[in-house]
Amino acid sequence: MGKIILCRGKKADTPLTVLQTGVKLYTAEELCYYIYNNIYLIGQDFIDDNLISFLDETGEKELAERVRKLKETGGSLAQIFVIILKTIDYYSVAEIEQLKGILNTLGKQSVCERLKARGDGYLNAGYYFAAVRCYESIIKDYKGKDLLAADYAKVYHNLGTAYARMFMYDKAVIYYDEAYRTGQHEESKKCSIAALIMAKKDKEPVNVDADEDEYVVQKELETLMDNARYSDEYRELEDIARLKADGNLAQYNRAVDERLDRWRTAYIKYSKTF
């Protein structure tokens, strides 16, 4: 889960699987860590019978009963999470109060503001298709209702970024252009040019008559591509190719399988929808 978590309580035989991200939780402390660090991704649907059963199985029977009663009486997400965090006592009072403030703010937000916060969380966590669904819902279902123009422009920009990170550059260009039309931010214009260059890469010859903006972005992309060969991943691929060239086919096949597994896992993650 990204860090070592000191767990004092009982480990569940059956983990709590978080549908939003596919993460499996085995202890109450892991639950606290997940809540605290993924607050923008969690909705009211997180409070279900599976969560209550999990709390019961990890030895938090009284807490499970309190959560059940709050769920039945329509308790707020903030109220339930604060009770969980305080009861399990994994975070300090100051940290819990800070989270409580965020939850209270989320509770006052409009549908579009909450969708944007969730979409931004998915984008930052690498769940790109899930982010796309949030942003497209803002645009298609709510027409950006109650969002400031600057935030609406960010929705288009982040939607372009989600598509670009999935190598869907043609779509990325569309949304970066819309972001620029809406917000007039140079970053959106620059990203649109970059996405267009990548979309045309290997399809059309390099534009030797590019205007100044396109020329600058093109040079930046070339620099990034040149620097990529010094990355750990590029070096790993070179090492794999070297194994084949040296005739170490057993090691080569093993290394290829491991790399493909990691790419497969990454693809499943970013294409996951909730």
Of residues 185, 204, 226, 228, the one with CA closest to residue 196: 204
- 159: pLDDT strictly greater than 70: yes
Residue 95 CA, chain-centre distance (Å), reads: 23
- pTM tops 0.85: no
Looking at residue 10, the DSSP 8-state letter turns out to be: P
Supply angle C-alpha 157, 160, 164, rounded to 5.
Answer: 140
For residue 125, how many other CB atoms are within 10 A of its CB? 18
β-bridge pairing 24-25 and 16-17: antiparallel
Q: How confident is the model at residue 189 (pLDDT cuts 50, 70, 90)?
A: very high
21, pLDDT greater than 60? yes
Summarize the confidence of residues 166-180 as an average pLDDT. Answer: 97
Q: Which of 86, 108, 130 is the last residue of a domain?
A: 108
Per DSSP, the three-state class of 124 is helix
Asked if pLDDT for residue 43 goes beyond 80, the answer is no
Q: How far apart are CA 31 and CA 195, in angstroms?
A: 39
| SS3 state at 110 | coil
pLDDT tens readout for residues 208-234: 567 888 889 989 998 998 998 899 999
Say if residue 189 is in the same domain as residue 255. no
Does the pLDDT at position 107 exceed 80? no
Q: Are 17 and 272 contacting, i.e. CB atoms less than 8 angstroms apart?
A: no
Does 6 map to a domain? Answer: no
Are 91 and 147 found together in one domain?
Answer: no
Residue 69's contacts (CB-CB under 8 Å, 6 or more residues apart) are 75
116 and 33 in one domain?
no
Q: How many domains does the chain have?
A: 3
Question: Average pLDDT for residues 55-79, to the nearest whole number?
Answer: 93
